A and B are shown apart, each in its own frame.
Chain A
Amino acid sequence: MENRTFEIPIGPVHPALKEQIRFTFQVEGERIVGVDIKPGFAHRGIEFMGMHRNLIQVLYLAERICGICSISHPIALIQAVENAAGIEVPPRAQYIRVIVAELERIHSHLLWAGVAAHELGFDTLLHLTWKVREKVLDILEELTGNRVNYAIPIYGGVRRDISPEQYPRVREMIRYYRGLFEELCDRFLNDASVEARTRDVGVLEPEEAEELCAVGPTARASGLRKDVRQDWPYLVYGDLGVKAITPEDYGLETRGDVYDRIVVRLLEVGQSLSIIERCLEEMPEGEITSIPKIPALLAQLKKAEGEGIGRHEAPRGEVIHYVRLEAGVEAPVVWKVKAPTYSNLLSWYPMFEDQEIADIPIVTASIDPCICCLDRVHIVRGRSEQVMWKEELLKLSWEKTRKIVMGNG
Protein backbone atom coordinates (compact mmCIF):
# COMPACT_ATOMS: atom_id res chain seq x y z
CA MET A 1 0.00 0.00 0.00
CA GLU A 2 1.33 3.40 -0.87
CA ASN A 3 2.08 5.88 1.87
CA ARG A 4 -0.64 8.46 2.12
CA THR A 5 -0.24 11.79 3.82
CA PHE A 6 -3.15 13.10 5.84
CA GLU A 7 -3.67 16.61 7.14
CA ILE A 8 -4.75 17.21 10.70
CA PRO A 9 -5.84 20.76 11.46
CA ILE A 10 -5.67 21.72 15.14
CA GLY A 11 -6.94 24.94 16.62
CA PRO A 12 -7.40 27.85 16.86
CA VAL A 13 -9.30 27.00 20.04
CA HIS A 14 -7.68 24.12 21.88
CA PRO A 15 -8.07 23.27 25.53
CA ALA A 16 -4.41 22.48 26.18
CA LEU A 17 -2.56 25.57 25.04
CA LYS A 18 -5.07 28.12 26.37
CA GLU A 19 -4.31 30.32 23.41
CA GLN A 20 -5.29 30.71 19.80
CA ILE A 21 -3.06 29.42 17.05
CA ARG A 22 -3.65 26.90 14.30
CA PHE A 23 -1.42 24.03 13.31
CA THR A 24 -1.90 21.91 10.21
CA PHE A 25 0.05 18.70 10.54
CA GLN A 26 0.84 16.40 7.64
CA VAL A 27 1.01 12.88 8.96
CA GLU A 28 1.88 9.50 7.56
CA GLY A 29 0.30 7.09 9.98
CA GLU A 30 1.50 8.22 13.40
CA ARG A 31 4.52 10.06 12.03
CA ILE A 32 4.53 13.81 11.46
CA VAL A 33 6.11 14.73 8.15
CA GLY A 34 5.26 18.40 7.98
CA VAL A 35 3.62 21.25 9.83
CA ASP A 36 2.10 24.57 8.90
CA ILE A 37 1.53 27.21 11.56
CA LYS A 38 -0.99 30.00 11.30
CA PRO A 39 -0.89 32.57 14.08
CA GLY A 40 -2.83 35.81 14.11
CA PHE A 41 -5.96 34.94 16.09
CA ALA A 42 -4.95 37.00 19.11
CA HIS A 43 -3.81 40.05 17.16
CA ARG A 44 -5.18 43.13 18.90
CA GLY A 45 -3.32 45.88 17.06
CA ILE A 46 -1.48 47.03 20.17
CA GLU A 47 1.30 48.87 18.33
CA PHE A 48 -1.29 50.78 16.32
CA MET A 49 -3.15 51.78 19.48
CA GLY A 50 0.14 52.72 21.19
CA MET A 51 0.94 55.18 18.43
CA HIS A 52 -2.27 57.07 19.29
CA ARG A 53 -1.77 57.41 23.04
CA ASN A 54 0.61 59.26 25.31
CA LEU A 55 3.65 57.40 26.56
CA ILE A 56 2.30 56.69 30.04
CA GLN A 57 -0.83 55.15 28.58
CA VAL A 58 1.40 53.12 26.24
CA LEU A 59 3.08 51.70 29.32
CA TYR A 60 -0.19 50.15 30.49
CA LEU A 61 -0.84 48.87 27.00
CA ALA A 62 2.62 47.27 26.89
CA GLU A 63 1.86 45.53 30.15
CA ARG A 64 -1.21 43.97 28.56
CA ILE A 65 0.64 42.54 25.57
CA CYS A 66 1.00 39.47 27.73
CA GLY A 67 -0.38 38.67 31.16
CA ILE A 68 2.51 36.32 31.98
CA CYS A 69 5.36 38.63 30.90
CA SER A 70 3.63 41.63 32.37
CA ILE A 71 6.86 43.26 33.47
CA SER A 72 9.12 42.13 30.63
CA HIS A 73 7.38 44.21 27.99
CA PRO A 74 7.24 47.39 30.14
CA ILE A 75 10.94 47.00 31.07
CA ALA A 76 11.93 46.75 27.40
CA LEU A 77 9.69 49.66 26.41
CA ILE A 78 10.89 51.83 29.27
CA GLN A 79 14.53 51.22 28.39
CA ALA A 80 13.81 52.13 24.79
CA VAL A 81 12.10 55.37 25.82
CA GLU A 82 14.77 56.21 28.41
CA ASN A 83 17.40 55.67 25.71
CA ALA A 84 15.56 57.95 23.33
CA ALA A 85 14.79 60.68 25.86
CA GLY A 86 18.01 60.43 27.88
CA ILE A 87 16.35 59.83 31.25
CA GLU A 88 18.52 58.60 34.14
CA VAL A 89 17.33 55.86 36.48
CA PRO A 90 18.37 55.85 40.18
CA PRO A 91 20.23 52.68 41.24
CA ARG A 92 17.59 51.60 43.77
CA ALA A 93 14.92 51.68 41.08
CA GLN A 94 17.09 49.48 38.87
CA TYR A 95 17.40 46.91 41.66
CA ILE A 96 13.65 46.93 42.24
CA ARG A 97 13.02 46.38 38.54
CA VAL A 98 15.40 43.42 38.59
CA ILE A 99 13.74 41.93 41.68
CA VAL A 100 10.26 42.09 40.15
CA ALA A 101 11.53 40.78 36.81
CA GLU A 102 13.14 37.78 38.52
CA LEU A 103 10.03 37.12 40.60
CA GLU A 104 8.16 37.05 37.32
CA ARG A 105 10.64 34.53 35.90
CA ILE A 106 10.02 32.24 38.88
CA HIS A 107 6.26 32.44 38.47
CA SER A 108 6.44 31.95 34.71
CA HIS A 109 8.75 28.93 34.84
CA LEU A 110 6.69 27.25 37.56
CA LEU A 111 3.57 27.92 35.52
CA TRP A 112 5.25 26.35 32.50
CA ALA A 113 6.40 23.32 34.48
CA GLY A 114 2.80 22.73 35.57
CA VAL A 115 1.46 23.07 32.04
CA ALA A 116 4.13 20.67 30.74
CA ALA A 117 3.19 18.12 33.40
CA HIS A 118 -0.46 18.49 32.38
CA GLU A 119 0.40 17.85 28.73
CA LEU A 120 2.07 14.62 29.78
CA GLY A 121 -1.04 13.58 31.69
CA PHE A 122 0.68 14.07 35.04
CA ASP A 123 -1.95 16.25 36.72
CA THR A 124 -0.65 15.63 40.25
CA LEU A 125 2.50 17.46 39.27
CA LEU A 126 0.47 20.27 37.69
CA HIS A 127 -1.33 20.80 40.97
CA LEU A 128 1.90 20.58 42.98
CA THR A 129 3.71 23.21 40.90
CA TRP A 130 0.71 25.54 40.81
CA LYS A 131 0.33 25.19 44.55
CA VAL A 132 3.92 26.28 45.20
CA ARG A 133 3.59 29.00 42.54
CA GLU A 134 1.03 30.79 44.73
CA LYS A 135 3.84 31.74 47.11
CA VAL A 136 5.62 33.91 44.54
CA LEU A 137 2.30 35.46 43.52
CA ASP A 138 1.73 36.39 47.17
CA ILE A 139 5.10 38.16 47.23
CA LEU A 140 4.36 39.91 43.93
CA GLU A 141 1.06 41.06 45.37
CA GLU A 142 2.79 42.20 48.54
CA LEU A 143 5.41 44.21 46.64
CA THR A 144 3.32 45.56 43.77
CA GLY A 145 -0.33 45.35 44.76
CA ASN A 146 -1.46 42.90 42.12
CA ARG A 147 -0.96 39.23 41.31
CA VAL A 148 -0.69 39.84 37.58
CA ASN A 149 -0.02 43.15 35.75
CA TYR A 150 2.17 44.77 38.37
CA ALA A 151 2.48 48.32 36.95
CA ILE A 152 5.80 48.76 38.75
CA PRO A 153 8.22 50.43 36.33
CA ILE A 154 7.70 53.94 35.05
CA TYR A 155 9.97 56.12 32.93
CA GLY A 156 12.82 57.20 35.18
CA GLY A 157 12.26 54.71 37.98
CA VAL A 158 9.65 52.59 39.67
CA ARG A 159 6.30 53.40 41.23
CA ARG A 160 6.69 51.60 44.55
CA ASP A 161 9.53 51.12 46.96
CA ILE A 162 10.25 47.92 48.85
CA SER A 163 9.86 48.76 52.54
CA PRO A 164 12.12 47.34 55.30
CA GLU A 165 9.24 45.19 56.64
CA GLN A 166 8.94 43.51 53.26
CA TYR A 167 12.55 42.30 53.12
CA PRO A 168 12.03 39.39 55.55
CA ARG A 169 8.94 38.25 53.66
CA VAL A 170 10.85 38.06 50.40
CA ARG A 171 13.71 36.24 52.16
CA GLU A 172 11.18 33.83 53.65
CA MET A 173 9.93 33.09 50.13
CA ILE A 174 13.49 32.41 48.96
CA ARG A 175 13.95 29.94 51.83
CA TYR A 176 10.61 28.30 50.98
CA TYR A 177 11.62 27.68 47.36
CA ARG A 178 15.14 26.59 48.27
CA GLY A 179 13.60 23.99 50.57
CA LEU A 180 11.35 22.78 47.79
CA PHE A 181 13.88 22.95 45.00
CA GLU A 182 15.33 19.48 45.37
CA GLU A 183 11.91 17.92 45.67
CA LEU A 184 10.73 19.66 42.51
CA CYS A 185 13.85 18.64 40.57
CA ASP A 186 13.43 15.09 41.82
CA ARG A 187 9.76 14.97 40.82
CA PHE A 188 10.46 16.22 37.30
CA LEU A 189 13.89 14.91 36.46
CA ASN A 190 14.05 11.52 38.16
CA ASP A 191 10.58 10.38 37.19
CA ALA A 192 10.71 7.46 34.80
CA SER A 193 7.53 8.39 32.92
CA VAL A 194 8.51 12.05 32.52
CA GLU A 195 11.88 10.95 31.22
CA ALA A 196 10.36 8.42 28.82
CA ARG A 197 8.03 11.04 27.37
CA THR A 198 10.54 13.88 27.05
CA ARG A 199 14.00 12.34 26.40
CA ASP A 200 14.90 12.64 22.69
CA VAL A 201 11.49 14.12 21.94
CA GLY A 202 11.28 17.39 20.03
CA VAL A 203 15.02 17.68 19.54
CA LEU A 204 16.48 21.01 18.44
CA GLU A 205 20.13 20.70 17.43
CA PRO A 206 22.44 23.59 18.43
CA GLU A 207 23.09 24.45 14.77
CA GLU A 208 19.37 24.59 14.09
CA ALA A 209 18.80 26.73 17.17
CA GLU A 210 21.51 29.09 15.95
CA GLU A 211 20.18 29.23 12.39
CA LEU A 212 16.56 29.71 13.42
CA CYS A 213 17.52 32.40 15.96
CA ALA A 214 15.98 30.62 18.92
CA VAL A 215 16.15 32.61 22.16
CA GLY A 216 15.74 32.07 25.87
CA PRO A 217 15.44 28.63 27.48
CA THR A 218 14.71 27.07 24.07
CA ALA A 219 18.16 28.10 22.80
CA ARG A 220 19.93 27.40 26.10
CA ALA A 221 18.48 23.88 26.26
CA SER A 222 20.17 23.25 22.91
CA GLY A 223 23.48 24.27 24.44
CA LEU A 224 23.75 27.87 23.25
CA ARG A 225 24.97 30.12 26.04
CA LYS A 226 22.73 32.97 25.03
CA ASP A 227 21.14 35.32 27.52
CA VAL A 228 20.57 39.06 27.20
CA ARG A 229 21.41 39.49 30.88
CA GLN A 230 24.87 38.06 30.16
CA ASP A 231 25.55 39.26 26.61
CA TRP A 232 24.15 42.78 26.75
CA PRO A 233 23.90 43.68 30.44
CA TYR A 234 21.32 46.28 31.34
CA LEU A 235 19.89 47.61 34.62
CA VAL A 236 22.17 46.10 37.29
CA TYR A 237 22.53 42.68 35.68
CA GLY A 238 26.14 43.54 34.77
CA ASP A 239 27.05 43.86 38.48
CA LEU A 240 25.17 40.71 39.38
CA GLY A 241 27.21 38.64 36.93
CA VAL A 242 24.39 36.53 35.51
CA LYS A 243 25.53 33.55 33.45
CA ALA A 244 23.42 31.69 30.89
CA ILE A 245 22.38 28.24 32.09
CA THR A 246 22.59 25.11 29.93
CA PRO A 247 21.90 21.48 30.89
CA GLU A 248 25.67 21.01 31.33
CA ASP A 249 25.40 23.01 34.54
CA TYR A 250 23.31 20.17 35.91
CA GLY A 251 25.98 17.66 34.90
CA LEU A 252 24.08 16.44 31.86
CA GLU A 253 25.11 16.10 28.27
CA THR A 254 23.14 18.59 26.16
CA ARG A 255 20.73 16.88 23.81
CA GLY A 256 18.35 19.76 23.03
CA ASP A 257 15.20 17.76 23.77
CA VAL A 258 12.14 18.56 25.87
CA TYR A 259 13.82 17.07 28.96
CA ASP A 260 16.68 19.56 28.63
CA ARG A 261 14.18 22.40 28.42
CA ILE A 262 12.68 21.26 31.73
CA VAL A 263 16.19 21.15 33.27
CA VAL A 264 17.05 24.66 32.09
CA ARG A 265 13.81 26.19 33.36
CA LEU A 266 14.10 24.53 36.76
CA LEU A 267 17.71 25.67 37.14
CA GLU A 268 16.70 29.19 36.18
CA VAL A 269 14.24 29.25 39.06
CA GLY A 270 17.22 28.62 41.35
CA GLN A 271 19.25 31.28 39.56
CA SER A 272 16.48 33.85 39.96
CA LEU A 273 16.31 33.11 43.69
CA SER A 274 20.04 33.88 44.03
CA ILE A 275 19.66 37.08 41.98
CA ILE A 276 16.81 38.31 44.20
CA GLU A 277 18.80 37.45 47.32
CA ARG A 278 21.83 39.41 46.10
CA CYS A 279 19.64 42.36 45.07
CA LEU A 280 18.15 42.54 48.56
CA GLU A 281 21.64 42.62 50.07
CA GLU A 282 23.22 45.08 47.66
CA MET A 283 20.30 47.41 47.04
CA PRO A 284 21.35 50.96 48.03
CA GLU A 285 19.03 53.40 49.78
CA GLY A 286 17.80 56.42 47.88
CA GLU A 287 15.34 57.77 45.38
CA ILE A 288 13.14 55.38 43.41
CA THR A 289 12.44 57.71 40.52
CA SER A 290 14.27 60.60 38.92
CA ILE A 291 11.09 62.46 37.88
CA PRO A 292 8.44 61.87 40.54
CA LYS A 293 5.79 64.24 39.16
CA ILE A 294 3.74 62.76 36.29
CA PRO A 295 2.97 66.11 34.53
CA ALA A 296 6.71 66.97 34.58
CA LEU A 297 7.50 63.52 33.21
CA LEU A 298 4.94 63.86 30.42
CA ALA A 299 6.26 67.32 29.54
CA GLN A 300 9.82 66.02 29.33
CA LEU A 301 8.76 63.04 27.21
CA LYS A 302 6.88 65.37 24.87
CA LYS A 303 10.01 67.40 24.31
CA ALA A 304 12.17 64.33 23.69
CA GLU A 305 13.37 63.52 20.23
CA GLY A 306 15.21 60.44 19.02
CA GLU A 307 15.04 56.69 18.82
CA GLY A 308 15.81 53.95 21.28
CA ILE A 309 15.97 50.21 21.67
CA GLY A 310 15.20 48.30 24.84
CA ARG A 311 16.10 44.66 25.37
CA HIS A 312 15.15 42.40 28.21
CA GLU A 313 15.51 38.71 28.91
CA ALA A 314 11.89 37.74 29.48
CA PRO A 315 11.14 34.27 30.92
CA ARG A 316 10.74 33.02 27.34
CA GLY A 317 13.74 34.80 25.84
CA GLU A 318 14.79 38.10 24.45
CA VAL A 319 12.15 40.80 24.03
CA ILE A 320 13.01 43.91 22.02
CA HIS A 321 11.11 47.18 21.86
CA TYR A 322 11.95 49.94 19.44
CA VAL A 323 10.52 53.46 19.72
CA ARG A 324 11.01 56.70 17.89
CA LEU A 325 9.95 59.93 19.57
CA GLU A 326 9.40 63.28 17.96
CA ALA A 327 9.38 66.60 19.79
CA GLY A 328 5.89 67.99 20.24
CA VAL A 329 4.17 64.64 19.81
CA GLU A 330 2.95 62.86 22.94
CA ALA A 331 2.64 59.43 21.36
CA PRO A 332 5.61 57.42 20.06
CA VAL A 333 5.84 57.94 16.30
CA VAL A 334 7.01 54.36 15.84
CA TRP A 335 6.64 51.50 18.31
CA LYS A 336 7.77 48.04 17.36
CA VAL A 337 7.68 45.00 19.60
CA LYS A 338 9.54 41.76 19.03
CA ALA A 339 8.43 39.12 21.50
CA PRO A 340 10.46 35.98 22.26
CA THR A 341 7.92 33.54 20.83
CA TYR A 342 8.39 35.28 17.50
CA SER A 343 11.95 33.96 17.39
CA ASN A 344 11.15 30.57 18.87
CA LEU A 345 8.24 29.84 16.58
CA LEU A 346 10.42 28.53 13.75
CA SER A 347 12.15 26.04 16.01
CA TRP A 348 8.85 24.12 16.04
CA TYR A 349 9.56 22.92 12.49
CA PRO A 350 12.64 20.79 13.25
CA MET A 351 11.14 19.76 16.60
CA PHE A 352 8.00 18.29 15.09
CA GLU A 353 9.80 16.38 12.36
CA ASP A 354 9.40 12.61 12.71
CA GLN A 355 7.56 12.86 16.02
CA GLU A 356 4.41 10.96 16.87
CA ILE A 357 1.00 12.61 16.95
CA ALA A 358 0.79 11.93 20.69
CA ASP A 359 3.89 14.08 21.23
CA ILE A 360 2.32 17.19 19.68
CA PRO A 361 1.06 18.70 22.97
CA ILE A 362 4.35 18.44 24.87
CA VAL A 363 6.49 19.59 21.93
CA THR A 364 4.15 22.53 21.38
CA ALA A 365 4.37 23.48 25.03
CA SER A 366 8.12 22.93 25.25
CA ILE A 367 9.09 26.31 23.79
CA ASP A 368 6.65 27.95 26.22
CA PRO A 369 4.77 29.67 23.43
CA CYS A 370 3.02 32.93 24.17
CA ILE A 371 0.67 33.59 21.35
CA CYS A 372 -0.64 36.90 22.63
CA CYS A 373 2.97 38.15 22.64
CA LEU A 374 3.53 36.72 19.20
CA ASP A 375 0.56 38.11 17.35
CA ARG A 376 1.97 41.47 16.42
CA VAL A 377 1.31 40.98 12.71
CA HIS A 378 -2.02 40.03 11.28
CA ILE A 379 -2.10 37.84 8.20
CA VAL A 380 -5.34 37.80 6.26
CA ARG A 381 -5.90 34.95 3.88
CA GLY A 382 -9.10 34.06 2.08
CA ARG A 383 -9.40 30.40 2.93
CA SER A 384 -12.14 28.28 4.41
CA GLU A 385 -11.26 27.39 7.97
CA GLN A 386 -12.01 24.41 10.09
CA VAL A 387 -11.85 23.91 13.82
CA MET A 388 -10.73 20.72 15.46
CA TRP A 389 -10.63 20.14 19.18
CA LYS A 390 -7.42 19.27 20.84
CA GLU A 391 -9.10 17.10 23.44
CA GLU A 392 -8.55 13.99 21.34
CA LEU A 393 -4.91 14.86 21.09
CA LEU A 394 -4.49 15.31 24.82
CA LYS A 395 -6.16 11.98 25.34
CA LEU A 396 -3.65 10.41 22.96
CA SER A 397 -0.79 11.98 24.88
CA TRP A 398 -2.16 10.76 28.21
CA GLU A 399 -2.65 7.26 26.84
CA LYS A 400 0.95 7.16 25.69
CA THR A 401 2.13 8.03 29.20
CA ARG A 402 -0.17 5.39 30.68
CA LYS A 403 1.19 2.78 28.29
CA ILE A 404 4.77 3.63 29.26
CA VAL A 405 3.96 3.56 32.97
CA MET A 406 2.16 0.22 32.62
CA GLY A 407 5.03 -1.13 30.53
CA ASN A 408 7.45 -0.28 33.31
CA GLY A 409 5.26 -2.18 35.75
Chain B
Amino acid sequence: MKLSSFKRALWVFHVPTGSCNGCDIEIVAALTPRYDIERFGIRLVGTPRHADVLLVTGAVTRPMAERLRRIYEQTPDPKAVVVVGSCGSTSGVFYESYNIVGPVDEIIPVDVYVPGCPPRPEAIIDGVVKAVAKLEKLEAGEPA
Protein backbone atom coordinates (compact mmCIF):
# COMPACT_ATOMS: atom_id res chain seq x y z
CA MET B 1 0.00 0.00 0.00
CA LYS B 2 1.21 3.44 -0.84
CA LEU B 3 1.21 6.02 1.87
CA SER B 4 1.41 9.00 -0.45
CA SER B 5 -1.33 10.90 1.34
CA PHE B 6 0.66 10.75 4.56
CA LYS B 7 3.57 12.44 2.86
CA ARG B 8 1.37 15.43 2.21
CA ALA B 9 0.36 15.70 5.84
CA LEU B 10 3.05 18.28 6.44
CA TRP B 11 4.08 19.39 9.86
CA VAL B 12 4.90 23.03 9.89
CA PHE B 13 7.01 25.07 12.28
CA HIS B 14 6.43 28.80 12.41
CA VAL B 15 9.50 31.00 12.95
CA PRO B 16 8.85 34.69 13.65
CA THR B 17 12.04 36.64 13.02
CA GLY B 18 10.95 40.15 13.88
CA SER B 19 7.63 40.22 12.10
CA CYS B 20 4.78 42.59 12.93
CA ASN B 21 2.21 39.87 13.80
CA GLY B 22 0.29 40.51 10.59
CA CYS B 23 1.52 37.40 8.79
CA ASP B 24 1.59 35.44 12.03
CA ILE B 25 -2.12 35.87 12.70
CA GLU B 26 -2.91 35.05 9.08
CA ILE B 27 -0.98 31.78 9.48
CA VAL B 28 -3.16 30.92 12.48
CA ALA B 29 -6.23 32.02 10.50
CA ALA B 30 -5.23 29.51 7.82
CA LEU B 31 -5.31 26.75 10.43
CA THR B 32 -8.65 27.64 11.99
CA PRO B 33 -12.11 26.63 10.69
CA ARG B 34 -12.65 29.12 7.81
CA TYR B 35 -9.61 27.91 5.86
CA ASP B 36 -8.87 24.82 7.93
CA ILE B 37 -5.70 23.35 6.47
CA GLU B 38 -5.65 20.93 9.38
CA ARG B 39 -8.11 18.81 7.40
CA PHE B 40 -5.19 17.89 5.12
CA GLY B 41 -3.11 16.90 8.11
CA ILE B 42 -1.09 20.11 7.93
CA ARG B 43 -0.52 21.36 11.44
CA LEU B 44 1.74 23.62 13.44
CA VAL B 45 4.22 21.78 15.64
CA GLY B 46 6.07 23.10 18.64
CA THR B 47 9.62 22.29 17.61
CA PRO B 48 11.58 22.39 14.35
CA ARG B 49 12.83 18.85 15.04
CA HIS B 50 9.37 17.55 14.11
CA ALA B 51 8.83 19.84 11.14
CA ASP B 52 8.82 19.27 7.37
CA VAL B 53 8.30 22.90 6.48
CA LEU B 54 9.52 26.11 8.08
CA LEU B 55 7.19 29.08 7.73
CA VAL B 56 9.40 32.12 8.23
CA THR B 57 7.81 35.53 8.82
CA GLY B 58 9.43 38.90 9.24
CA ALA B 59 12.48 40.74 8.03
CA VAL B 60 15.26 39.10 10.02
CA THR B 61 16.44 41.22 12.97
CA ARG B 62 20.06 41.03 14.09
CA PRO B 63 19.50 38.90 17.23
CA MET B 64 17.16 36.54 15.38
CA ALA B 65 19.53 35.75 12.48
CA GLU B 66 21.65 33.34 14.52
CA ARG B 67 18.52 31.68 15.92
CA LEU B 68 16.98 31.33 12.47
CA ARG B 69 20.13 29.60 11.26
CA ARG B 70 20.07 27.29 14.26
CA ILE B 71 16.39 26.44 13.73
CA TYR B 72 17.09 25.67 10.07
CA GLU B 73 19.87 23.30 11.08
CA GLN B 74 17.63 21.59 13.64
CA THR B 75 14.99 20.80 11.02
CA PRO B 76 15.48 17.29 9.61
CA ASP B 77 15.93 16.73 5.86
CA PRO B 78 14.08 16.74 3.51
CA LYS B 79 12.76 20.18 4.39
CA ALA B 80 11.31 23.19 2.65
CA VAL B 81 11.39 26.83 3.69
CA VAL B 82 8.43 29.10 2.93
CA VAL B 83 8.83 32.82 3.50
CA VAL B 84 5.50 34.43 4.33
CA GLY B 85 5.14 38.16 3.70
CA SER B 86 6.83 40.91 1.80
CA CYS B 87 9.29 41.93 4.49
CA GLY B 88 10.71 38.43 4.74
CA SER B 89 10.99 38.19 0.96
CA THR B 90 12.54 41.58 0.24
CA SER B 91 12.80 43.46 3.58
CA GLY B 92 9.80 45.50 2.39
CA VAL B 93 9.24 48.74 4.29
CA PHE B 94 12.08 47.93 6.68
CA TYR B 95 14.77 47.99 4.00
CA GLU B 96 17.05 50.65 5.51
CA SER B 97 17.00 49.66 9.15
CA TYR B 98 20.22 49.25 11.14
CA ASN B 99 18.88 46.21 12.93
CA ILE B 100 17.64 44.21 9.93
CA VAL B 101 20.07 41.73 8.42
CA GLY B 102 17.48 40.03 6.18
CA PRO B 103 15.75 39.29 3.88
CA VAL B 104 15.42 35.66 4.91
CA ASP B 105 17.21 34.29 1.84
CA GLU B 106 20.42 35.98 2.94
CA ILE B 107 20.40 33.81 6.07
CA ILE B 108 19.01 30.43 4.96
CA PRO B 109 18.03 28.89 1.59
CA VAL B 110 14.41 29.65 0.68
CA ASP B 111 12.16 27.55 -1.56
CA VAL B 112 8.88 29.45 -1.74
CA TYR B 113 8.12 33.16 -1.40
CA VAL B 114 4.59 34.24 -0.50
CA PRO B 115 4.27 37.98 -1.19
CA GLY B 116 1.71 40.26 0.42
CA CYS B 117 1.53 42.48 3.44
CA PRO B 118 0.20 40.29 4.91
CA PRO B 119 -0.62 37.55 2.38
CA ARG B 120 -4.14 36.20 2.55
CA PRO B 121 -4.57 32.75 4.13
CA GLU B 122 -5.30 31.34 0.65
CA ALA B 123 -1.90 32.56 -0.51
CA ILE B 124 -0.19 30.98 2.49
CA ILE B 125 -1.93 27.67 1.75
CA ASP B 126 -0.77 27.95 -1.88
CA GLY B 127 2.78 28.49 -0.63
CA VAL B 128 2.64 25.37 1.50
CA VAL B 129 1.24 23.40 -1.46
CA LYS B 130 4.24 24.51 -3.54
CA ALA B 131 6.47 23.30 -0.71
CA VAL B 132 4.77 19.88 -0.95
CA ALA B 133 5.77 19.70 -4.61
CA LYS B 134 9.36 20.45 -3.71
CA LEU B 135 9.46 17.86 -0.95
CA GLU B 136 8.04 15.22 -3.32
CA LYS B 137 10.81 15.95 -5.81
CA LEU B 138 13.41 15.66 -3.07
CA GLU B 139 11.96 12.32 -1.94
CA ALA B 140 12.09 11.00 -5.50
CA GLY B 141 15.76 11.97 -5.62
CA GLU B 142 15.28 14.63 -8.29
CA PRO B 143 16.97 18.01 -8.06
CA ALA B 144 14.50 20.50 -6.59
Chain A residues near B (Cβ < 8 Å): 12-13, 15, 18-20, 40-46, 48-49, 52, 60-61, 64-68, 70, 111, 114, 126-127, 130-131, 134, 137, 147-149, 370, 372, 378, 387, 389-391, 394
Taking A111-B25, A127-B32, A149-B22 as known contacts, 13 extra A-B pairs with beta carbons closer than 8 A to each other, sorted by chain A number, are A15-B45, A15-B46, A18-B16, A41-B61, A45-B94, A45-B98, A67-B23, A70-B22, A372-B18, A372-B20, A378-B99, A387-B70, A390-B46
How far apart are A21's CB and chain B's nearest CB, in angstroms? Answer: 11
Residue ID in chain B nearest A18 by CB atoms? B24
State which of A52, A68, A378, A394 has its C-beta within 8 Å of the C-beta of B21. A68
Asked whether B20 lies within 8 Å of A65 as measured between CB atoms, the reply is yes
Asked whether A66 lies within 8 Å of B70 as measured between CB atoms, the reply is no
Residues on A with beta carbons closer than 8 Å to the beta carbon of B28 = 18, 130
Residues on B with beta carbons closer than 8 Å to the beta carbon of A378 = 99
Q: Interface residues of A: mostly helix, strand, loop or mixed? A: loop
Q: Top 7 nearest A-B pairs by Cβ distance? A: A67-B22, A391-B46, A130-B32, A67-B21, A45-B97, A15-B46, A131-B33
On whether A19 and B16 interact (CB within 8 A), knowing A41-B63, A391-B46, the answer reads yes
- Total interface residues in chain B, CB < 8 Å: 43
On whether A130 and B33 interact (CB within 8 A), knowing A20-B18, A148-B26, A387-B67, the answer reads yes
Residues on A with beta carbons closer than 8 Å to the beta carbon of B14 = 15, 18
**What is the 8 Å Cβ interface bit string for chain B, positions 10-44, against chain A (1 contact, 0 not)?**
00011111111111111011001110000000001
Asked whether B18 lies within 8 Å of A43 as measured between CB atoms, the reply is yes
Tell me, yes or no, whether B71 is within 8 Å of chain A by CB.
yes
Asked whether A67 lies within 8 Å of B18 as measured between CB atoms, the reply is no
* Contacts A/B (CB < 8 Å), 16 sampled: A12-B64, A15-B14, A15-B45, A18-B16, A42-B61, A46-B97, A48-B98, A49-B94, A66-B21, A67-B21, A67-B22, A67-B118, A70-B22, A147-B118, A372-B21, A378-B99
